């Protein structure tokens, strides 16, 4: 492996206690916790002990959602005031869905793909009860979806194109710019699920003109199960009135008015009390990602995943991710005979990956992994795969 940029590059390994337990290649699922998250949680508890009244809202809680939202916005390529934190990605998508009146006799078609996370399918299935027509663009190989097929599915009846920017099952990455362009020319909006992209790729929400981005902090952002996020294109915000709402979305929440008047800011996409401890816990991860820099993180990801793809192909393994870097996110999926057992054997040897049905292993190097770790992990996988006996043995 040629390490072009790693010589002057601080991988911040000391800041992640989990890395001492083995080779962590799980950033598509569970990012390691930064050491500073513990301090942030303790500081939060200390402050909580000192609050004796509603002053907590005025002194810190109210502005925290905004602060975290703006930090996430930067990582998505969006401006301040474009992100409202959410309980999780599924709720964020439901908020988007609740902005549309599918049964009003107008546009009611929603375009998704077969490679999206299951929440997407469940949420759009539920919207069918309100009149949504869901068009799922098929994948022939379970790895990618031809761009032309997505573009062809967008027509004058489409209200929304809702798909993963990077797929959780193959790491397939769509051409966001082309999809937004086609959708807007047909009068439709676009929501991109960027959960598997944010923190490992350079995202360009504003440049793409994307209408919504959704995701969360637990994976590539090293932020734990703290919060989800919803980016809404600033010029679009005031046109939308989500049905999934609550008092925090009101223009004057503390007026306790009986009638809804949506906040003029991105807070109009909030619901109720924010997850304050969660918001404290995700800041350390966001700090590290910003300090290391997305350009460098993305370059490292490209370099190592390219090497892993080459290694897999050289050994005749089944690659369940696209070959081309431009079509791939930060993970490499490898089809193996018995994925659960292979993942368990790897864990015994301190290589931590996971698996999904009809996908195989999901393997994700992040900026904190050394080149040696990536090399060792692939070598150990080779040994495990050639040890047929070991794979057959019941524990």
Ligand X SMILES: Cc1ncc(COP(=O)(O)O)c(C=O)c1O
Q: How far is the CB of 33 from ligand X (least distance, A)?
A: 17
Using the rule CB under 6 A, is 89 a contact of ligand X?
yes
Q: How far is the CB of 89 from ligand X (least distance, A)?
A: 3
Using the rule CB under 6 A, is 117 a contact of ligand X?
yes
CB closer to ligand X out of 176 and 384? 176
Q: Locate the DSSP E strands across the chain.
A: 23-24, 83-86, 109-113, 133-137, 158-164, 189-193, 212-216, 228-232, 318-319, 332-335, 351-352, 354-356, 360-363
CB closer to ligand X out of 158 and 171? 171
Interface with ligand X by CB under 6 A: which range of 86-94, 135-143, 253-261, 285-293? Answer: 86-94
Q: How far is the CB of 274 from ligand X (least distance, A)?
A: 15
345 within 8 A of 391, measured Cβ to Cβ: yes
Report DSSP state, residue 31. Answer: P
CB closer to ligand X out of 192 and 381? 192
Structural tokens at position 200: 């490992």
Structural tokens at position 345: 């054997």
CA distance 364 to 253: 42
Q: How far is the CB of 228 from ligand X (least distance, A)?
A: 5
Q: How far is the CB of 192 from ligand X (least distance, A)?
A: 10
Report DSSP state, residue 293. Answer: -
Burial (CB count <10 Å: 0-12, 13-18, 19+), residue 256: exposed
Of the residues 27, 84, 119, 171, which one makes contact with ligand X according to CB under 6 A? 119
Query: Look-up: residue for tokens 């082309």?
Result: 178
Q: Which of residues 170-229 bind ligand X (CB under 6 A)?
A: 193, 195-196, 216, 228
Interface with ligand X by CB under 6 A: which range of 67-75, 87-95, 261-269, 346-354? Answer: 87-95
CB closer to ligand X out of 24 and 303? 24
CB closer to ligand X out of 103 and 340? 340
Q: How far is the CB of 332 from ligand X (least distance, A)?
A: 16
Q: How far is the CB of 145 from ligand X (least distance, A)?
A: 14
Using the rule CB under 6 A, is 61 a contact of ligand X?
no
Q: Which of residues 133-162 bind ligand X (CB under 6 A)?
A: none
Instruction: Choose among 152, 161, 165, 113: nearest CA to 136.
Output: 113
CA distance 58 to 78: 27
197 within 8 A of 168, measured Cβ to Cβ: no
Which CA distances in Å does 278 have to 38, 218, 228? 12, 11, 10
Q: How far is the CB of 104 from ligand X (least distance, A)?
A: 28
Q: Which of residues 226-285 bind ligand X (CB under 6 A)?
A: 228
Query: Look-up: residue for tokens 């995943």?
Result: 305
CA distance 46 to 312: 50
DSSP string, 132-195: -EEEEE--SSSS---HHHHHHH--TTEEEEEEESB-TTT-BB--HHHHHHHHHHTT-EEEEE-T
Could you give the 3-state DSSP secondary structure of residue 212?
Answer: strand
Using the rule CB under 6 A, is 164 a contact of ligand X?
yes
CB closer to ligand X out of 32 and 216? 216
- Residue count, binding to ligand X (CB under 6 A): 12
> Residue 38's CB: how many other CB atoms inside 10 A?
13
CB closer to ligand X out of 92 and 378? 92
Using the rule CB under 6 A, is 102 a contact of ligand X?
no
CB closer to ligand X out of 163 and 346? 163
Q: How far is the CB of 193 from ligand X (least distance, A)?
A: 5
Contact residues for ligand X, defined by CB under 6 A: 88-90, 117, 119, 164, 168, 193, 195-196, 216, 228
């Amino acid at each position: 492996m040629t390490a072009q940029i790693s010589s002057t590059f601080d991988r911040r390994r000391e800041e992640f206690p989990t890395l001492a337990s083995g080779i962590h290649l799980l950033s598509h699922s569970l990012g390691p916790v930064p050491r500073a998250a513990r301090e942030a949680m303790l500081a939060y508890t200390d402050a909580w002990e000192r609050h004796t009244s509603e002053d907590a809202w005025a002194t810190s809680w109210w502005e925290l959602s905004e602060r975290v939202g703006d930090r996430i916005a930067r990582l998505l390529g969006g401006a301040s005031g474009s992100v409202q934190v959410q309980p999780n990605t599924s709720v964020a998508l439901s908020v988007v869905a609740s902005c549309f009146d599918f049964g009003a006799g107008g546009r009611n078609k929603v375009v998704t793909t077969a490679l999206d996370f299951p929440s997407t399918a469940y949420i759009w299935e539920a919207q069918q009860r309100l009149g949504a027509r869901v068009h799922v663009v098929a994948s022939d190989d379970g790895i990618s979806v031809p761009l032309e097929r997505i573009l062809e599915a967008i027509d004058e009846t489409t209200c929304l194109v809702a798909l993963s920017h990077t797929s959780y099952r193959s790491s397939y990455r769509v051409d966001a710019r082309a999809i937004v362009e086609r959708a807007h020319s047909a009068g439709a909006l676009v929501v991109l699920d960027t959960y598997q992209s944010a923190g490992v790729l350079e995202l360009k929400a504003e440049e793409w003109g994307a209408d919504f981005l959704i995701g969360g902090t637990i994976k590539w952002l090293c932020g734990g199960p703290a919060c989800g996020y919803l980016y809404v294109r600033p010029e679009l915000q005031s046109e939308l009135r989500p049905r999934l709402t609550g008092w925090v979305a009101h223009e004057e929440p503390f007026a306790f008015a009986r009638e809804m008047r949506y906040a003029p800011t991105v807070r109009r996409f909030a619901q109720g009390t924010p997850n304050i401890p969660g918001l404290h816990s995700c800041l350390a991860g966001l700090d590290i990602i910003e300090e290391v820099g997305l350009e460098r993180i993305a370059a490292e990801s490209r370099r190592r995943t390219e090497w892993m793809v080459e290694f897999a192909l050289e050994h005749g393994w089944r690659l369940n991710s696209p070959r081309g870097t431009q079509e791939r996110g930060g993970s490499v999926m490898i089809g193996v005979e018995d994925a659960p057992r292979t993942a368990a054997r790897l864990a015994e040897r301190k290589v931590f990956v996971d698996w999904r049905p009809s996908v195989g292993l999901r393997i994700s190097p992040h900026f904190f992994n050394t080149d040696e770790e990536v090399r060792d992990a692939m070598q150990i996988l080779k040994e495990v795969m050639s040890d047929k006996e070991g794979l057959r043995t019941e524990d």
